[in-house]
Structure 1
């Protein structure tokens, strides 16, 4: 058995598992007033990076205050992003399965219909429970929580305009900027969250649009387009680039797009929006080829603008204290998340790296551990990415295109879910697992999974990459039968030798 499990010389930090308390029912508007006492750590922003950093700092014995302008914790992810979108993705998938798949399993209904208010209610309930759960964790760990908009008045002082209408000054020896990101706007398109919506508006539509146009074929646009397509919308995705999800492995991307097209989503690639007219009953988009050419029009009831996100640093007073940013507004930090201003740090979406909630959490833990004098490290090459459509797409490490660009000799192993017994048994066998490994050493370089539950299956691969495992290590690890995880084992067998079941 190949033993490629030598631990890294770097000290990896313990991620920890945060469990939300879902039984808490009532909370105060704030846990303590923001007095003049100096904190060891002040966190500006209560999203995944900020609240995790605050809890970890408190667990390390540091006096900690977290400032959040929204009035509820969890940031974009929990309030208007990851959590509500996954709630709607699951609800819409259940409806789609009931309408199109249940009969094949011998489960029949006279009719199936969508109760959109109930669906939205379930989503809102999940969000409310989780935000209250984080407040409970703050209380448990003695994190001071200040609700309001914070801005620097010095490198060690933050002025907070509170949600109650007052003002307070919060002092800290170390201040962490964790303000996340905001929707990236497009020239000539005004988002009103009614007919032209961001992801926030797309999560709260009051009725199912007959025609939905999604501008942008990234993770968020495809997920939200998938929700409304399942519920009956005619969905067209307009993308400036020649491919959907440009960061995705090319082979996986092609199969993914074909799967979405089978679900009746339409794609207009290499196309840009030249103009928008909202004067009529329908929104009229003027389109033209990305390289220039003849214009065309496309009408929609609702247009979702999903062209990415930008770091949110507006109004923080960064210029007042001299914090350096790059040309697109990201805060520049060193390997310890420290800015050029002593005592000021930044994590999550406001700094370079993938704009993902779990990346922000890792940043937060590592940052406060280093503030506390411990060793910590985050490797952005080992941050998994997931698209929560159905089938899902999940990946970690290098794509085949990236490996080729590096000039590394490599082997590829693939296994189709059509040959996986669990996938066939449940009649959900679209997809494959693909593994890339260095030819000489068999060290795994990247893993890409397209199929049901890919977002859960990927973490075996994440752990393997962290420990420098070979494909043979996974192949010779016993996997329970019948499970979809066996497809990963078989793909690993195909990488270093030969699979059994194809």
Structure 2
């Protein structure tokens, strides 16, 4: 029976980062992963393959819709769907190879199998062939992630009623797809398939796309989706989904309560994810779950067992890979006696549609709910010289600031390279830089980042220099 200082259960972004940081701090570390590949959902069937397909389909869409304006002729343009999927798989393999290298470099022992607690100091690891081993550790970090959720009346069969996992590896391009859910996963998958000519319908229960983000972002995204041919149905309640053999039918109530239905090649269920704790043997510990099935932790991410911590999707908070990574480092350093910190309000959210959507801090709706005064600075990319040169004029940069001190309260962007631009806003908010400080610095011209400069100018009351 081998004894470790720290054993991490789950090799997703939170898990492998926690293991690396623990090893760097001098702990004898092991990483337990039930699948044969490292990386968890993000690397294998989530963030990485989705972004690979988003990039590929955006290239195709750009060639089909914009190249001619640039003077580039693309006669007889065609799409090789099989190569599209193969390229995605190659990207995943490259990332897995990188993770294997990192484990070896940091002398982390990788144990393949499913971990189940025997006690707070010991886990049983069951391999795919049924063989079992026992691992002892002073500390454990649970990083088992999440799995796709569903809703009453909809049973995922992975053939016609599918999740994003199956949608990333379909055998052929579907002619049509109905997506239940207009959150991050739903709108990204809608983008992938609509760009290559698939007829896409989104059925969303809330009255906005990406409903957890600032309302203006969802409103703008709906406008752009509708313009691109995606059918967006808001305030619609799904009742059921049925596999017809070669199609699937989704039945729902529209915003007026009238029964409707859509039949498509596939029904993609994208209503969120739920924490994955099944089979962990938590009943053999004092670890507690909340009403949503998440592991309960304190401010140091310690469970009700003094030596067991939990991070990522299995605890409360946004289900984001970079949130899990921050928590992985946070826990390893806490165990080491350090005093790290995480400001959860400053963890950005990104949607990789095109244009991209990114957000950090308070939304306008949250500030209104708190009866908090704020200024708004909003600048359209249509007034950006860089955006016009690139034919990327959709969207805007929006900043929310405190009227008295100029403190930045929130930043919300829908536009080209929003995923990269949001980092500047995170830095400004982390170090409590004011809106005036942010527009006083020099921005290269012409760049997309100038949209933020103008938004800061407007929110501070100085007035834009370009509109």
- Identify the match of residue 205 of structure 2 among 240, 249, 259: 240
**Partner of residue 86, structure 1:** 51
- Identify the match of residue 347 of structure 1 among 300, 311, 314: 311
CA offsets 1:367-387 (integer angstroms, 9 cap, x no match):
110001111111110000011
| Contact persistence 1:159–1:170 (CA under 8 A) | yes
SS of the aligned residue for 1:94 comes to: helix
After superposing the two structures, state which structure 1 stretch, 271-280 or 431-440, moved more. 271-280
Q: Does 1:140 align with 2:110?
A: no
| Contact persistence 2:178–2:250 (CA under 8 A) | no
CA offsets 1:188-213 (integer angstroms, 9 cap, x no match):
32222221110001101111111110
**Partner of residue 390, structure 2:** 426
| Contact persistence 1:337–1:367 (CA under 8 A) | yes
Q: How many Å separate the matches in 1 of 2:244 and 2:50?
A: 30
**Partner of residue 11, structure 1:** none
**Partner of residue 208, structure 1:** 173
SS of the aligned residue for 1:461 comes to: helix
- Identify the match of residue 223 of structure 2 among 235, 251, 258: 258
**Partner of residue 163, structure 1:** 128
Q: How many Å separate the matches in 2 of 1:190 and 1:430?
A: 37
- Identify the match of residue 159 of structure 2 among 194, 201, 209: 194
TM-score by length of 1: 0.91
Shift of 1:481: 1.1
Shift of 1:253: 1.6
Consecutive unaligned residues of structure 2, counting only runs of 5 or more, are none
| Contact persistence 1:208–1:232 (CA under 8 A) | no
Q: How many Å separate the matches in 1 of 2:243 and 2:41?
A: 28
Shift of 1:275: 2.2
Q: How many Å separate the matches in 2 of 1:170 and 1:372?
A: 21
**Partner of residue 54, structure 1:** 19
Consecutive unaligned residues of structure 1, counting only runs of 5 or more, are 1-35
**Partner of residue 436, structure 1:** 400
Q: How many Å separate the matches in 2 of 1:271 and 1:450?
A: 25
Q: How many Å separate the matches in 1 of 2:286 and 2:294?
A: 14
CA offsets 1:330-350 (integer angstroms, 9 cap, x no match):
011011110111201100000
SS of the aligned residue for 2:194 comes to: helix
SS of the aligned residue for 1:221 comes to: helix
**Partner of residue 152, structure 1:** 117
Greater RCO, CA 8 A, separation 6+: 1
Shift of 1:290: 6.5
**Partner of residue 121, structure 1:** 86
- Identify the match of residue 96 of structure 1 among 49, 61, 82: 61
Q: How many Å separate the matches in 1 of 2:434 and 2:128?
A: 53
Q: How many Å separate the matches in 1 of 2:208 and 2:390?
A: 31
Within-5 A mapping of 1:455-470 = 455-470=419-434
SS of the aligned residue for 1:316 comes to: coil
**Partner of residue 379, structure 2:** 415
CA offsets 1:40-71 (integer angstroms, 9 cap, x no match):
11100000000000000000101100001111
| Contact persistence 1:229–1:265 (CA under 8 A) | yes
**Partner of residue 329, structure 1:** 293
- Identify the match of residue 36 of structure 2 among 55, 71, 74: 71
Shift of 1:280: 5.0
**Partner of residue 482, structure 1:** 446
**Partner of residue 23, structure 1:** none
**Partner of residue 356, structure 1:** 320
CA offsets 1:108-150 (integer angstroms, 9 cap, x no match):
1111111011111110001011011111001001111101100
Q: Does 1:217 align with 2:182?
A: yes
After superposing the two structures, state which structure 1 stretch, 66-75 or 163-172, moved more. 163-172
SS of the aligned residue for 1:146 comes to: strand
Q: How many Å separate the matches in 2 of 1:225 and 1:423?
A: 24
| Contact persistence 1:40–1:63 (CA under 8 A) | yes
**Partner of residue 395, structure 1:** 359
Q: How many Å separate the matches in 2 of 1:356 and 1:409?
A: 29
Q: How many Å separate the matches in 2 of 1:163 and 1:129?
A: 24
SS of the aligned residue for 1:284 comes to: strand
Q: How many Å separate the matches in 2 of 1:157 and 1:285?
A: 46
Q: Does 1:304 align with 2:281?
A: no
Shift of 1:185: 1.9
Shift of 1:164: 4.7
Between Structure 1 and Structure 2, how many residues are aligned?
466
| Contact persistence 2:312–2:327 (CA under 8 A) | yes
